[in-house]
């Protein structure tokens, strides 16, 4: 396993179980592993929900990482702030008061009381669950391929790349390298790239046949490079060792904020239970019905060590 890098969404822990296996075998799902181990004692969060209702605002931390949470015209935008704004309004808290910070400072800032919730599409991992309380999943992240316009190699997933001897680009130290290996892509056909834009540029230049990443990120990359001669193929779920690999993310609360978290989850379930509403809210950020988390996917299972 390649060691994770600290501040990049696409560096992952690789312990995982498939959604279908959760009911029978509690364990891990692949998830982002940016390091943000925090310190400091959590605030006393008894009555936090009622206090926020009286104050009329909730303090949210986000990390400037599109399309999950970023700043647009001075306001927080992206998947998490958009969903959270809708949920907190339903809870009688009409205003988000944002704090933009480095991803690695989010959990320490939450534990220090700088904000009340992290709105960053943070992946749910057992390591993080030991320090904070996650909502139920807001999304899952199927993998996809970006290829040249017209898909000249006729690719569909990593197995097709292996079968056709195609060259696959992945981000350095990212989990897609292990996905490609498990699918049969040879080491010499996997090319490491420093950042997402490098992947798109390599596809356009013909240096690689496909760039593997989450469908969410690839659709956003294509959107921000509208004139590039690329297309994003249908997402798929990689399999490693016979286990499907998924990447769920959610909102983050202090461990004492159970009333707020539980109320949040009730409103979140109304959105994830209505795929049309889900896409209506965050479809513009590249989220589709494929990213709606299934009911069987529960945070308690994801947190179980």
Which superfamily does CATH assign the domain made up of 143-237 to? Periplasmic binding protein-like II (3.40.190.10)
Residue carrying the six token digits 């990443």: 213
Give the start-to-end residue ranges of the domains of the chain.
40-139+249-295, 143-237
Give the DSSP letter string of the chain.
Answer: -PPPPTT-TTBEE-----GGGTTTS-----EE-------SPPP--TTHHHHHHHHTEEEEEE--BTTTBEEETTEEESHHHHHHHHHHHHTT--EEEEEE--GGGHHHHHHTTS-SEEEEEEE--HHHHTTSEE-S-SB---EEEEEETT-TT---SHHHHHHTT--EEEETTBTHHHHHHHHT--GGGEEEESSHHHHHHHHHHTS-SEEEEEHHHHHHHHHTTTTSSEEEPPPB--EETTEE----EEEEE-TT-HHHHHHHHHHHHHHHT-HHHHHHHHGGGT--GGGSPPTT--HHHHH--
Bridge partners for 249 per DSSP: 123, 139
pTM, two decimals, is: 0.75
Tell me if 40-139+249-295 shares its fold with 143-237: yes
pLDDT tens digits in sequence order for the chain, 305 residues long:
333 333 344 343 333 334 343 433 333 233 333 333 333 434 458 799 999 999 999 999 999 888 999 999 888 999 999 999 999 999 999 999 999 999 889 999 999 999 999 999 998 888 899 999 999 999 998 899 999 999 999 999 999 999 999 999 999 877 799 999 999 999 999 999 999 999 999 999 999 999 999 999 999 999 999 999 999 999 998 988 887 777 799 999 999 999 999 999 999 999 999 999 999 999 999 899 989 999 999 999 989 85
CA atoms within 13 A on the CB side of 266: 8
Q: Which two tokens stand for residue 50?
A: 């009622």
Domain 40-139+249-295: assigned CATH number: 3.40.190.10
CB atoms near residue 243 (< 10 Å)? 20
Q: Calculate Rg over the CA atoms of the chain.
A: 19
Q: What's the angle, vertex CA 70, arms to CA 285 and CA 272, rounded to 5?
A: 45
């Amino acid at each position: 396993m390649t060691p994770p890098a600290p501040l990049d969404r696409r560096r992952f822990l690789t312990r995982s179980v498939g959604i279908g296996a959760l009911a029978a075998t509690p364990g891990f799902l692949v998830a982002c592993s940016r390091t943000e181990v925090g310190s400091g004692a959590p605030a006393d969060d008894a009555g936090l929900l009622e206090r926020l209702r009286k104050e009329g605002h909730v303090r949210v931390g986000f990390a400037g990482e599109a399309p999950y949470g970023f700043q647009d015209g001075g306001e927080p935008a992206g998947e998490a702030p958009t969903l959270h704004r809708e949920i907190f309004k339903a809870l009688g808290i009409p205003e988000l008061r944002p704090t933009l910070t480095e991803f690695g400072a989010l959990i320490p800032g939450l534990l220090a009381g700088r904000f009340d919730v992290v709105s960053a599409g943070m992946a749910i991992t057992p390591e993080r669950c030991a320090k904070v309380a996650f909502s139920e999943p807001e999304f899952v992240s199927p993998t996809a391929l970006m290829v040249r316009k017209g898909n000249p190699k006729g690719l569909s997933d990593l197995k097709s790349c292996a079968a056709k001897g195609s060259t696959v680009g992945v981000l350095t130290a990212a989990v897609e390298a292990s996905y490609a290996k498990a699918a049969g892509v040879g080491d010499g056909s996997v090319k490491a790239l420093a950042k997402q834009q490098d992947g798109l540029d390599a596809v356009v230049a013909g240096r690689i046949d496909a760039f593997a990443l989450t469908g969410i990120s690839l659709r956003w990359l294509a959107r921000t490079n509208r004139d590039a001669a690329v297309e994003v193929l249908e997402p798929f779920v990689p399999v490693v060792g016979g286990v499907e690999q998924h990447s769920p993310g959610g909102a983050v609360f202090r461990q004492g904020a159970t009333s707020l978290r539980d109320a949040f989850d009730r409103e979140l379930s109304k959105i994830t239970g209505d795929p049309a509403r889900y896409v209506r809210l965050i479809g513009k950020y590249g989220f589709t019905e494929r990213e709606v988390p299934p009911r069987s996917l529960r945070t308690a299972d994801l947190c179980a060590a």
